[in-house]
Amino acid sequence: MAAPTGPVTDPALAAPSIFRQLFRHVQYENLVAGLSGGVISTLALHPLDLVKIRFAVSDGLELRPKYNSILHCMSTVWKREGLRGLYQGVTPNMWGAGASWGLYFFFYSAIKAYKKEGRAGNLSPTEHLLSAAGAGALTMCFTNPIWVTKTRLILQYDSGVDPSKRQYRGMCHALATIYRHEGIPGLYRGFVPGLLGTSHGALQFMAYEELKLEYNKHLNRPSDTKLNTLEYITMAATSKIFAVAATYPYQVVRARLQDQHNRYSGVIDVIRRTWRKEGVGGFYKGIIPNILRVTPACCITFVVYENVSHFLLSLRKAQD
């Protein structure tokens, strides 16, 4: 029997080789820049996130406060609980947003660079979509417990008025309590719709990348030309509104799974009960405060990210 003459690929060795190639393209500047953008935008816009989640879970339970509008919700929380009430859940939100944006840009840039290695030209829209989806899935694995604690803290109604009503005293206490009573599955409630929700980030990043490429092509400039702040804001806002419109229902499903005041057997149970009781509109509850929050948040995040990453990468080039 003749010995094989071509190169033999051992599957056991192939995966580590891929990871080595992937990590060769890792740039920690992207992590720092993404984290900075996420934290700054969260601090500025957290009250709108609180409103969005309270509307998203409003399924008729008697214990929930009733709100007529975004302004009514914010003014009610302010009157009853003050500034502290509007910033319930801000700590895990800040950690979650910072970690999510940082890791997302970190993984996304590395995957893009890996795909472009040895190639001329830019990635296709499909490759941008798949790169962003992969980055989103990896990020979710690390950050889902933080998002569960944020949702639980935000849904502590009147906790600012009467501290004795607080089920959770803070982010660390919430993490420990959820783990003690519900185990790992409790910390990963909403993971499946969250994983499906990576399509949101994938669509957004695909649209953002294609808008930048087409804009620079239209002006006959290199594809990696640094844009001005207004140009980044316009492209970030357009791509975010497109992604929200396409994927919002998963956020309602995810928030309801993470809500401590109700119990669902899974994603299908949430969808079935929401459809039966509230119809199509139930899947879009909270979308207006969500758009009002995420669009400026996205603009802030992307502008901070682009400027910080360009600055840090230029420092690296100057040192090399």
In this prediction, residue 23 carries a pLDDT of 56
Q: Which residue has the tokens 């001005």?
A: 228
- Token couple for 89: 């859940």
d(CA 77, CA 174): 21
- Give the dihedral of Cα atoms 41, 47, 52, 58; nearest 10 deg: 160
What digits encode the pLDDT tens for the residues 40-97? 888 888 888 888 888 877 777 777 788 888 888 888 888 888 888 888 888 888 888 8
Q: Are the beta carbons of 277 and 59 closer than 8 angstroms?
A: yes
Furthest-apart CA atoms within the chain: distance in Å: 85
In this prediction, residue 164 carries a pLDDT of 65
pTM value is 0.65
- Options 1.10.760.10, 1.50.40.10, 2.60.120.10, 1.10.10.10; CATH for 26-319 is 1.50.40.10
- Token couple for 315: 């420092």
d(CA 312, CA 258): 37
Instruction: Judge residue 107's burial from the number of C-beta atoms within 10 Å of its C-beta, 0-12 exposed, 13-18 middle, 19 or more buried.
Output: buried
Spacing of C-alpha 117 from chain mean position:
27
- Cα–Cα distances (Å) from 147 to 105, 143, 175, 208, 255, in that order, read 18, 7, 10, 25, 9
The residue type of 210 is: E
- Cα–Cα distances (Å) from 56 to 52, 65, 119, in that order, read 6, 13, 45
Q: CA quadruple 104, 44, 179, 186: dihedral positive or negative? A: negative
With a CB cutoff of 8 Å and minimum separation 6, the contacts of 305 are 30, 33, 34, 36, 37, 101, 105
Q: CA quadruple 152, 96, 286, 129: dihedral positive or negative? A: negative
The residue type of 266 is: G
- Token couple for 90: 């801000």
| Domain positions in the chain | 26-319
In this prediction, residue 269 carries a pLDDT of 93
- Mean pLDDT of successive 10-residue stretches along the chain, which has 320 residues: 48 53 65 84 84 78 79 87 85 84 86 80 85 90 90 75 71 92 92 81 89 91 86 92 86 84 86 92 86 84 86 79
- Cα–Cα distances (Å) from 86 to 46, 104, 109, 232, in that order, read 8, 27, 34, 29
